[in-house]
């Protein structure tokens, strides 16, 4: 079993671990070893992911007011891919990397399975944080895209209800505006990456700062329908190929 770190840490990392003194031994498993408790037992798995819920909230539900995103009920494949991306350096956030850098693929899958299975209600969205014309610009980009720039609409991949697609595409609702802004910005600057082809990086780089703000403001102001359950299928083919998304038809030349 890993030993909890005792050396000095950055301020934020100290706060994280100070709030989860026992979580280091619970969330981490020795390399090559399987956890003793099956992830299907939510009550047994919960103590093992205390380090996760310190930031992501009780049961991983987060809030609309914070920076950290909700992970409860997100598609299992998506959660797993993001854990691997943090561990392998495609995404950069020191606190996350520190927690999982020694965890095996199998254990990361256990964590993803646990949070994907949680069904907890979403809080109502906050009041819109932008002017009506800004929100309308965001809505048009989300629902229609921009054909002149070959910019796909968010709904074409994230589903008509924007609740994602099982098992690998996340929903976009119920997330804080600041978080949405920061992630689109991270794709634009290369701080966030995904498996090739990195479709979101290509899409985000077409957006102006004003468009990023409009999209984030509109998404953050929407209620989450149907308990946020991801769809089982899209109504049409995806307009672009995306790494880590398998088994979903891709339209036309994008499929090659």
Q: Where are the domains of the chain?
A: 11-116, 132-245
Whether the CB-CB separation of 50 and 75 falls below 8 Å is answered with no
If you classify domain 11-116 with CATH, what class do you get?
A: mainly alpha
Closest CA to 138 of 162, 119, 122: 162
CATH numeric code, 132-245: 1.10.760.10
Q: What is the pLDDT of residue 23?
A: 39
Asked whether the domain spanning 132-245 has the same topology as the one spanning 11-116, the reply is yes
Q: Bin 229: left if φ > 0, else alpha if -120 < ψ < 50, else beta.
A: beta
Strand partners for 250? 238
- What does the pLDDT profile of the chain (256 residues) look like in tens digits? 333 333 333 333 333 333 333 334 344 444 444 444 444 466 778 888 999 999 999 899 987 667 889 999 999 999 999 999 999 999 988 999 999 999 999 999 999 999 999 999 999 999 998 999 999 999 999 999 999 999 999 999 999 999 999 999 999 999 999 999 999 999 999 999 999 999 999 999 999 999 999 999 999 999 999 999 999 999 899 999 999 898 899 987 555 5
Note if the pTM is more than 0.85: no
The whole-number pLDDT of residue 13 equals 36
The residues with which 169 forms a beta bridge, in sequence order, are 165
Contact at 8 Å (CB) between 125 and 220? Answer: yes
Do residues 158 and 170 make contact, with C-beta atoms less than 8 angstroms apart? yes
**Structure-block tokens of residue 113:** 């399975």
pLDDT of residue 251: 86
Q: How far is 165 from 186, CA to CA, in rounded Å?
A: 23
């Amino acid at each position: 079993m890993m030993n909890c770190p005792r050396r000095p840490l950055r301020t934020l990392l100290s706060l994280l671990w100070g709030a989860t003194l026992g979580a280091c031994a619970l969330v981490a498993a020795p390399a090559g070893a399987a956890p003793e408790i099956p992830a299907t037992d939510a009550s047994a798995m919960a103590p093992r992911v205390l380090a996760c819920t310190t930031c992501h909230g009780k049961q991983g539900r987060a809030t609309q007011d914070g920076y950290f995103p909700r992970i409860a009920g997100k598609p299992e494949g998506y959660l797993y891919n993001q854990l691997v991306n943090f561990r392998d350096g495609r995404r950069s956030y020191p606190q996350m990397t520190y927690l999982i850098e020694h965890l095996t693929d199998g254990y990361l899958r256990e964590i993803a399975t646990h949070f994907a299975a949680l069904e907890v209600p979403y809080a109502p969205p906050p009041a819109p944080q932008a002017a009506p014309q800004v929100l309308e610009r965001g809505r048009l980009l989300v629902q229609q895209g921009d054909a002149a720039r070959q910019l796909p609409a968010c709904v074409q991949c994230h589903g008509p209800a924007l609740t994602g697609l099982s098992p690998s595409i996340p929903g976009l609702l119920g997330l804080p505006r600041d978080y949405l802004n920061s992630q689109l910005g991270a794709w634009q600057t290369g701080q966030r990456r995904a498996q090739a082809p990195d479709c979101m990086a290509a899409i985000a780089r077409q957006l102006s700062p004003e468009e990023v703000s409009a999209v984030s403001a509109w998404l953050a102001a929407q209620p989450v329908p149907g308990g946020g359950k991801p769809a089982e299928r899209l109504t049409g083919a995806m307009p672009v190929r995306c790494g880590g998304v398998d088994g979903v038809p891709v339209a036309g030349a994008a499929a090659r």
